Each structure stands twice: as C-alpha cells, then as structure tokens.
C-alpha cells in the first residue's frame, strides 16, 4: 500500500467509495466524478503506478481486470448496450491517479475517438 494514494486508501477502507466488487486481487468502485451514467473503476489491490510498471508476471492480473470489467458492466446493465474500457497512462493521457485503474464507461452513446 502507498499511504498517500487515494485508491490504496479506498482499498484499505480508509477512504469511502461505493464498492461493487472485491476479491483478493482487485476491487471495483464507482467513479466519484462520472463521465457517463455508468462509470466504474476496476483497480488492482497491489499499488501499480501505471501500465508502464506492469511486469510480464502481471499478464493474468491484467486479464482478470478485464473479466471484472465485463462482470460489473453486465451487472450495471450496459453489457449489451456497450461500454468503453479505458486505461490512461502518463501525462498526455490525462492520468491523474497513479494507481493503475481500468475505467468502465457506458450508459450513453459515445463520440468516436476523433470526435468525428
């Protein structure tokens, strides 16, 4: 745990969050500033700063994060209407929390990535 990391604090139960899923490797909770009607964050328990810090040993963990994304999307009712899975990495992406997390965003029609 990184004590000054908000997601580590949520995982430890020190900071509040609406937890939707938890197991021994990951948690999922609602984003505090949702970008769409459904906006869930899937977060590994281990403090990994970003995709850049992933190790080949983490390949099954990354797959597990996507399994959870699929599960929580279904439970939130957007499995069939569709959703985006986004992982921001580094300054140009706008990453603001430096604990790896997968955004699951849906419940409205998205624009294309180019905005066209």
Q: Which stretch binds ligand 5GP (CB under 6 A): 24-32, 58-66, 73-81, 105-113?
A: 24-32
* Binding range to ligand 5GP, per CB under 6 A, among 19-27, 31-39, 57-65, 76-84: 31-39
- Compute the least distance from the CB of residue 19 to Zn ion, in Å: 15
Active site residue 64: no
12 binds ligand 5GP (CB under 6 A): no
Contacts for 41-46 with beta carbons within 8 Å, 24 or more apart? 41/7, 41/101, 41/102, 41/103, 41/104, 42/68, 42/69, 42/72, 42/101, 42/102, 42/104, 43/7, 43/10, 43/11, 43/99, 43/100, 43/101, 43/102, 44/100, 45/11
Q: Quick one: which of 11, 29, 40, 102 contacts ligand 5GP (CB under 6 A)?
A: 29
Among 32, 66, 74, 82, binds ligand 5GP (CB under 6 A): 32
The separation between CA 50 and the C-alpha centre of its own chain, rounded to angstroms, equals 12
Q: Classify 48 as helix, strand or coil.
A: coil
Residues engaged in binding ligand 5GP (CB under 6 A): 6, 15, 17, 29-33, 88, 94-97
- Positions marked catalytic: 101
């Amino acid at each position: 745990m990184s004590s000054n990391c908000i997601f580590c604090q949520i995982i430890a139960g020190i900071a509040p969050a609406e937890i939707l899923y938890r197991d021994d490797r990951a948690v999922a909770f609602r984003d505090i500033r949702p970008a769409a009607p459904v906006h869930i964050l899937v977060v590994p328990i281990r403090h990994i700063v970003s995709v850049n810090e992933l190790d080949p040993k983490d390949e099954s963990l990354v797959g597990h994060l996507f399994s959870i994304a699929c599960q929580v999307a279904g439970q939130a009712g957007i499995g069939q209407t569709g959703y985006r899975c986004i992982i921001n990495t580094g300054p140009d992406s706008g990453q603001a929390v430096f604990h790896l997390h997968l955004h699951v965003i849906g419940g409205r029609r998205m624009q294309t990535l180019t905005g066209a």
